[in-house]
Structure 1
């Protein structure tokens, strides 16, 4: 046993890396209060869905689709890996319900369904995403899918995600509520948001989106509004969800503090681009970057941001409150010296409620849940796709979903027209038969007659 302990202790552990990139800026003025590696290319993960939402909102504005329009889950969409809603191929839901599930639950299957409904195909939708990114000035961004699952040519930057977040809040303020739900209720199921602790604990919090894949670590774009001013913070590459929320909360508070009364700030649109920027992280970022120890998080974040948040807007009130051992008691006068000790319950376990009070802020509101159904208005407008899916797209989507290997396409006949083509009567045509049902009994979706 002792030998085993020695062997395990000799195995090198991954070191904890600093958060890769971040920014906080004011939406109205565009002033960047703080930033680090804002132009570094990074995997956006599910922050990609913010662009999916922007394209969807634009399609609504153009009259191509409405919130009541049906969105069908194709076999290709249903085959996406988690996080997902898990509807069977052929299911439908309204665009309104789809957007709520996509932005709150971060469902990859619904993201693809939205993309196929609006774009005609996933590839066609990605083309629109990239065109929109260029129009918004997102120079360091390229999308290949609507959900952010890993792809080598799918990347963005903190600066570009800041531009996109501002555009969403500026161009489509009527949909801001979609970012603020802490969960979606669907029948007896409760689909929780990974951003719920931020939404519960930060004063004025109103979204936007979290994201995680191993190659990116924990990403987030958040916003908060106080006194008519809105701050947005972007974080890329945190090593845990708690570190992500703590950093985002601290950045929001720093944004409202202003970083100093007499300090001037650059504008988002003309932020100076460095001569060279770091590239994408190596594959397996999450395995190379250890989660920070709680002691480090407490030392880095405990008290400062939550205390400022508690005291701001409450003139003359200098008493913060924290829950300890299931009770609420005065925690004392807010000072520059934070309590970085690890709070514990009576049975010596970590009191995670108090930990989050100190790292993110005391809970200010209860859950904000939204209920959805799969009901479709029979009179709702059908979507007018941005482009028609090609036969190759349609067959590939079905073939991929059912594990069918498609035959390679032959090259065009380049021989002179006077030379007869091969008339070998022994050639056997390749026929691909699509099963009427998948192995789990799901019927193959058939296009509805027009």
Structure 2
């Protein structure tokens, strides 16, 4: 069915437009209905021109979804960043902690106290999707997986991933860890743009460690011409996910499919999207003004997906969450009902003291050192920074900014431009994420 459908992908032209991207004079290539896409509440997809960033096709691209092991693309992004800055080296040896060794499969299976090189850990993540190695790298780079996850979220925000929050480095169970097809495409584009020297890790088809050879879960590598990455993901809750990139005739596309019902269904649908995307680009080169259609044929609308925690176990990287259909008038069009943040921790009330007079700000610049969904966590991070970097930030005023885009941002204001830049340079050297805030 899928192969025959692929032969007629561009046979039907429609006047359907990609919202916000094209004028009414542009026609669209319509994708026939396949079994995978629109009726599943887990489904989302996007196709992007990697060179220009143009969205050629999008379906539920901003709707929250469970990324599963595609999470590890960000884990490797931060590892590539550390390598490129010389903070770590591929030959460095990582000691596996008890926490890392205890991660659920899929994993490499090292025992607590055993060591592995950064290079082998990255290969195990890219090929086998090893959860234990993701945690080992997170602890090596961030001191703890929790701290590393905060850095992942902050870096995602800086890249423009507005619908993403990370709480672990692997994609294993936590109902707070969500992303979207668009955000995953943004990350995929960023990793090949920012670290082309390391992108080949996503192209490795097999990896041998201690005599055991493992093959990549991305079956399109070597099967579909031009595909050279990136990452698969699966849990019962997320369905079968895939972020893929391919080149053809000097052009590169990035595509993301989330919520597939099977490996074959997901992979065939990915091929359909990439084939159609490349066909559209070739037609444009011949002077046609077409794009991939915005919508697939859909059945009647169903209730929006509601995310609820479960205790089911057993999948290779089990998310521990299920998506159930429910009548949800507050979430039309398949959007997700808001997830309540955990309550802020209780704090003892200290006696009031007379506040000292405020210093006159030295400047209008500032820095941002964290972004958190929970205000209590943001306040705790602010206190930690003040205590640890008191001398560096002595003249700056620390605060937790008002919630914007779902996040409370930890900031230090009232700095000169040079002070802000120097502070970020020093903090990054100490493996602290920092972003300069211009007035």
What interval of TM-score do these two structures reach, taking the shorter chain for normalisation? 0.5 to 0.7
The one of 191, 214, 228 aligned to 2:250:
228
Residues 40, 279 of structure 1: 8 Å contact kept: no
Of residues 159-168 and 67-76 in structure 1, the stretch that sits farther from structure 2 once superposed is: 67-76
CA spacing shift, 1:281–1:241, aligned 2, 3 Å: farther
Query: Pairwise mapping of residues 417-436 of structure 1 onto structure 2 (< 5 A)?
Result: none
Q: Give the Å deviation of 1:212.
A: 0.8
Is 1:73 the counterpart of 2:96? The answer is yes
Q: Which has the larger radius of gyration?
A: 1
Give the aligned partner of residue 217 of structure 1.
239
Is 1:250 the counterpart of 2:272? The answer is yes
Distance 1:132 1:88 in 2: 31
Q: Unaligned 5+ residue runs, structure 1?
A: 1-15, 267-276, 290-408, 417-450
Is 1:201 the counterpart of 2:219? The answer is no
Distance 1:278 1:229 in 2: 36
Give the aligned partner of residue 368 of structure 1.
none
The one of 34, 44, 47 aligned to 1:24:
47
Q: Give the Å deviation of 1:95.
A: 0.7
CA spacing shift, 1:239–1:28, aligned 2, 3 Å: same
Distance 1:286 1:243 in 2: 20
CA spacing shift, 1:253–1:131, aligned 2, 3 Å: same
What SS does the corresponding residue of 1:200 show, helix, strand or coil?
coil
Distance 1:227 1:159 in 2: 25
Q: Give the Å deviation of 1:183.
A: 1.9
Q: Give the Å deviation of 1:42.
A: 0.4
Q: Unaligned 5+ residue runs, structure 2?
A: 1-38, 293-302, 311-320, 326-344, 353-439
What SS does the corresponding residue of 1:258 show, helix, strand or coil?
helix
Give the aligned partner of residue 116 of structure 1.
139
Distance 2:157 2:346 in 1: 35
Deviations 1:18-45 (A, max 9, x none): 7610011110011211110000000100
Query: Pairwise mapping of residues 94-105 of structure 1 onto structure 2 (< 5 A)?
Result: 94-105=117-128
When normalised by structure 2's length, the TM-score is 0.58
Give the aligned partner of residue 263 of structure 1.
289
Residues 46, 256 of structure 2: 8 Å contact kept: yes
The one of 93, 109, 126 aligned to 2:149:
126
Give the aligned partner of residue 135 of structure 1.
158
Give the aligned partner of residue 402 of structure 2.
none
Q: Which 4+ runs in 1 deviate beyond 6 A?
A: 284-289, 409-416
Give the aligned partner of residue 446 of structure 1.
none
Distance 1:153 1:238 in 2: 21
CA spacing shift, 1:21–1:60, aligned 2, 3 Å: same
Give the aligned partner of residue 171 of structure 2.
148
Distance 2:66 2:199 in 1: 24
Q: Give the Å deviation of 1:131.
A: 1.0
Distance 2:143 2:225 in 1: 41
Give the aligned partner of residue 8 of structure 1.
none
Query: Pairwise mapping of residues 48-447 of structure 1 onto structure 2 (< 5 A)?
Result: 48-195=71-218, 197-258=219-280, 261=284, 262-263=288-289, 281=307
Q: Give the Å deviation of 1:17.
A: 3.0
Residues 41, 279 of structure 1: 8 Å contact kept: no
Please tell me the root mean square deviation across aligned C-alpha atoms, in Å: 2.8
Residues 307, 322 of structure 2: 8 Å contact kept: no
What SS does the corresponding residue of 1:235 show, helix, strand or coil?
strand
| RCO higher in structure (CA 8 A, sep ≥6) | 1
CA spacing shift, 1:131–1:181, aligned 2, 3 Å: same
Residues 31, 265 of structure 1: 8 Å contact kept: no
Q: Give the Å deviation of 1:145.
A: 0.3
